Structure 1
Amino acid sequence: MADDAQKNPEDTQAAEAPEIEDDGGIPMPSDDDALAAEATGPQAAPVDPRARLEELEAEAADLRDKLLRALAETENVRRRGQRDREEASKYAISSFAREMVVVADNLRRALEHVAPDARQKDELLESLAAGVEMTERAMLAAFERFGIRPIESLGQKFDHNLHEAMFEVEDPAQPAGTVVHEMEKGYVLDDRLLRPARVGVSRGGPRQPNGGAEAAPSPDAKAAAKEHRAAYEKQTDAQGEAAGSKGAKLDEKL
């Protein structure tokens, strides 16, 4: 028995396999036949190549439009960032420059309060005034290197972008709207206003055309401007003394 099983393994497998009953001669469909029937069955609608091409072209156009918009937005962000960096680098010293122009104002006031006759008579006063002038020139040169420039106002047409009108002077000899006195010099940092010039403006005479020639202020205008300047300096000195007294009180408290 064992020898027969080893000699005829195919006969053994045929004996163990179950018999398939005949169902009337109809063949059983295989898996390949089922897949082919699904692919070619009536439920698979035919694809129109032209419609599919139009659909793909529309999708490609939409993706191209989105890509161009994203690139444009990225470029705008880059330009804004570059402009912000340039402005931050250019105008970073604005606060410091506003404080330094006050020092330049005080140097100029100190020189204006020294009479030329007194300088000629007193050698020590002459040396002191010369030192202050050298300091002022060095400071103005440093301003120029960093883009800080004074505003030339006297005899110019009043410009609200650069000037701050403090008072008006009746002066028929001057065109109306002409700056006849400068109480405090203005400055610009590159192309941006750092501090407006505080000026006195004439309100008599004909209107000054654009680009009109510079005219000298009349004696009445000079006297009125001098009075206003003295009042302004007195007010400034009083504010400085008040600030100093507050600082002294604070030091004592500390």
Structure 2
Amino acid sequence: MSDEEFQNEANQNEQENAEAQENAADEQNAASPIEALEAENAKLKDRLLRAVAEMENLRKRTERDVKDARSYAMANFARDMLTATDNLSRALLTMSDEAKAEADGAFKSLIEGVEMTEREMHRLLEKNGITKLEPKGEKFDPNFHQAMFEIPNNDVADGTVMEVVQAGYVIGERVLRPAMVGVAKGGPKVAPVPNGEATAAPSEGENVDRSV
């Protein structure tokens, strides 16, 4: 091979190598923008999902706050209503069944009017989410009951509500007024609950403040 042919072949190889390097560089430069766009797209998608999740949490919190405001804003007024309802109940309890049965004329109408008013008061309370607590025979729950005294009784478990001195009320899931009760003393030391667990009997006067 002559020097000229050798030089031509060397030049051709050099040109081919340069073209190969250029093509490789072009391919790399072409791939980099795609990868960059894909990475940016992934970041934007993640931000969007986070924003959507935050908005959904905010919506739920707002709905809960509005619901709580509607449910518990009337708590003070409801307590005043309970006082009036209690007075109506006490007025009816002062009359014996015989006196009610023998009543006639205006006195009978008065009794019926008081009874109707009491029923209507309870209906309005329930309509506004205020529920009466009647825990007689149930296990004492310091979240909803206030123990006023103990009643010796060996036939039932300690802490069983034996007597309700004053009915309690809840508004929504919160205690508006705890039920004042008398609890059994002298029976088994723990009272069974529906799920099979056991709860210690309360101490005298035990109660917890969960009122609104």
Fold conserved between structures, TM > 0.5: yes
8 Å contact from structure 1 (residues 118, 125) kept in 2: no
Question: How many pairs does the alignment contain?
Answer: 167
**1:1-254 → structure 2 map (5 Å cutoff):** 48-119=29-100, 123=104, 125-206=107-188, 207-210=190-193
1:180 alignment partner, SS class: strand
String of CA shifts for 1:37-63, please: whole Å, max 9, x gaps. Answer: xxxxxxxx9872323332332222222
CA distance in 1, matches of 2:83, 2:52: 48
String of CA shifts for 1:168-217, please: whole Å, max 9, x gaps. Answer: 22222332111011111011224433221111111211243225xxxxxx
TM-score (norm 2): 0.68
State the Cα distance separating 1:119 from its structure 2 match. Answer: 4.4
Which one has more relative contact order, counting CA pairs under 8 Å at least 6 apart? 2
Which structure has the bigger radius of gyration? 1
State the Cα distance separating 1:105 from its structure 2 match. Answer: 1.0
Q: What is the root-mean-square deviation in Å for CA atoms of aligned residues? A: 2.5
8 Å contact from structure 2 (residues 92, 115) kept in 1: yes
String of CA shifts for 1:124-146, please: whole Å, max 9, x gaps. Answer: 65443332212111211222222
- Which range moved further: 120-129 or 137-146? 120-129
Structure 2 unpaired stretches of 5+: 1-24, 195-212
- Amino acid across the alignment from 2:49: L
CA distance in 1, matches of 2:170, 2:150: 24
CA distance in 2, matches of 1:203, 1:117: 35
- Amino acid across the alignment from 1:95: N
State the Cα distance separating 1:154 from its structure 2 match. Answer: 1.0
* Equivalent in the alignment of 1:238: none
State the Cα distance separating 1:121 from its structure 2 match. Answer: 5.9
Identity of aligned residues (%): 46
8 Å contact from structure 1 (residues 171, 204) kept in 2: yes
Structure 1 unpaired stretches of 5+: 1-44, 212-254
Question: Which of the pair is proportionally richer in strand?
Answer: 2
1:96 alignment partner, SS class: helix
- Which range moved further: 67-76 or 125-134? 125-134
